[in-house]
A and B are shown apart, each in its own frame.
Chain A
Amino acid sequence: MRRGDWLASPVLWVGTFFAALLIGMPALRPLFVLAFPEARPPVYDRDSFVALFLSHAGLVAAASLVSMVVGVALAVFVTRPAGRDFRALVNTLATVGQTFPPAAVLALAVPAVGFGPRPTVIALFLYGLLPIFENAVAGLEGVPAEIREAAEGMGLSAWQRLRDIELPLAAPVILAGIRVSVTIGIGTATIGSTVGALTLGTPIFDGLAVNKLPFILQGAVLIALFAILTDMLFARLEHRLRRRVR
């Protein structure tokens, strides 16, 4: 990509805006004082927004990483001859994980693992598993039969076929699933603040508890930008992968 294209890309601008807001939110204090004269303090100040973001991103990354490994591994398993019979079962389990509301998962997980980041990671993991699993199955099954046959006929072992042929060809579809999963996870991680995880949702729930609109606004805008930026980055990655895989 030429330098000019990169400068013209919205990713750069959204990214810069997001970083500026994260770091410079306290500097907007006069603006919030003007808009919400009765709010004291006008800008959330119990933690820095950078710290909230890092914690939020860490939770999502940890949960998504586990969803990715488990989702892809399960998809590989159910698309092998030995695992084909388990396909319906695994699909049902993953669907249950998705339909179970994350708030309910949090409520059930807290007694088991306590307050803090752990119940949030569990809820995010379960919630994010299905899109990755489903896309990975679709991607692996989408590898044309003649390509598998050629690979097998030339003497690639089962492992070589998976590593060198099937996974690379399925990669764009798998990545699309990861993109959905991570983007949803960024929004959903917000509720982790209700069980003691530090996220960009923390100002929102604090604001709700004490009826402070500016806190809610600050948290919501940052979460939205975070999700949009992540989605854009994934779109770019997906585009590059598709170009390579054709």
Chain B
Amino acid sequence: MIEIEHVTKRYGNRVIVDDLSLTVQAGAFCVLLGLSGCGKSTTLRMINRLVPIDAGRIRVAGQDTAGLPVEALRRRIGYAIQSTGLFPHWTVEDNIATVPRLLKWPPQRVRARVGELLELLRLEPASYRGKYPDQLSGGEQQRVGVARALAADPELLLMDEPFAAVDPITRAALQEEIRNIHRATGKTIIFVTHDIEEALRLATVIAIMHRGRIVQLGTPLDIVERPADDFVIELLGQQAIGLKLLSVRKIADRMRAGEVADGEALRFDAPLRDALAAMALRGADRLPVGDSDGRIVGAITLADLIR
């Protein structure tokens, strides 16, 4: 659990983070969402003390970070950034092994862990271990950056717009992977982005920041259904809010269980947006819904989407 209590950061007269409090439960995927300059990155960087705190307190797993040796604290917290910050003179293996080696893991354990992480991020260990960062594509570099952040099995992962610089297709694949990693490991993740779609797709909880404060805190559904103020509405994209609703609500919530329809089945855990897209594409207003094994469990109609 991460507890941020009344934290303030100023640069000269400018208040960047203004008396901010936020508690992130263990295992949560918390997205800090906001425009550039809203203080979201600064907040993230105060957690691993890259930015000193002017006032307030941050606790990680109950311990006040100010009281911990700074290097020991950082080695407990994974950190991935947009530009990856991979060390260009080190191989992929050396890059990923950075923190385990700092923690003096035995070499066999480091080597095994690097292989495990490369596989987790779908990079063939045999061919990627010895490569240098400049031999990798942007997406591969970002994967290595994530693997490096995960290397020492940290209790908390901080990610600062990690996928902002890669192309949309790679970004979607990386988002899917980080979501799977979050599900599989149950790690607490704090993730900074300015991309509302990314936030809705990944977060279990979103903190929307504006001018150094949190203006709304809630699940993706809460935020789209009940935006707290005009700023949040604007951030969600005014008229497009309706479409965002379809992105965060699941087919399972609206389907008619036990009914049948013709055509290829939609998955019950997909967002309603997928159902709308499939209806538009197939020219159908009624489609079957299946479970994760492909068994038909019901049907959904166009009218159900807007009910």
Q: Given the known A-B contacts A146-B83, A165-B87, are A153 and B99 also in contact in the complex, defined by CB atoms under 8 Å?
A: no
Verify if A157 is at the interface (C-beta below 8 Å from B): yes
Which of A146, A153, A169, A244 is the most central at the interface, judged by chain B CB atoms within 10 Å of its CB? A153
* CB nearest neighbor in B for A149: B85
Which of B45, B48, B87 has the most chain A CB within a 10 Å cutoff? B87
CB atoms of B81 and A245 under 8 A apart: no
In the complex, the answer to whether A150 meets B74 with C-beta atoms within 8 Å is no
Contact flag A153-B79 (CB < 8 Å), given A246-B132, A246-B134: yes
> Are B98 and A154 touching (Cβ within 8 A)?
yes
A246 touches B84 (CB 8 A): no
**A22 sits at the interface (CB 8 A):** no
B89 and A154: CB pair below 8 A? Answer: no
Q: A147-B88, A169-B89 are in contact. Are A154 and B99 (CB under 8 A)?
A: yes
| Contacts of A133-170 to chain B: CB distance below 8 A | 144, 146-147, 149-157, 160, 165, 168-169
CB distance from A141 to the nearest CB of B (A): 16
B50 CB–A CB distance under 8 Å: yes
Give Cα A245 to B84, complex, Å.
17
Contact among B45, B72, B81, B102 for A150, CB-based, below 8 A: B81
Question: Given A169-B89, A245-B89, A246-B132, does the pair A155, B74 have CB atoms closer than 8 Å?
Answer: yes
Contact B75 A155 (CB under 8 A): yes
Q: For residue B99, which residue of chain A has the nearest CB?
A: A154
Measured CA separation A237–B79 after assembly (Å): 35
Interchain CB contact under 8 A, A155 and B71 = yes
CA distance A151 to B73 in the complex (A): 14
Return the CB mask of B20-51 against A: 1 if under 8 Å, else 0: 00000000000000000000000001001010
* Given A246-B132, A246-B134, CB of A151 within 8 Å of CB of B87: yes
List of 5 A-B pairs having minimum Cβ-Cβ separation, nearest first = A150-B85, A155-B74, A155-B75, A153-B79, A146-B83
- B residues apposed to A, CB below 8 Å: 45, 48, 50, 70-75, 79, 81-89, 98-99, 102, 132-134, 148, 158
What are 14 pairs between A and B in contact, CB < 8 Å? A144-B83, A144-B85, A149-B85, A150-B79, A150-B84, A150-B86, A153-B45, A153-B79, A154-B98, A154-B99, A154-B148, A155-B72, A168-B89, A169-B88
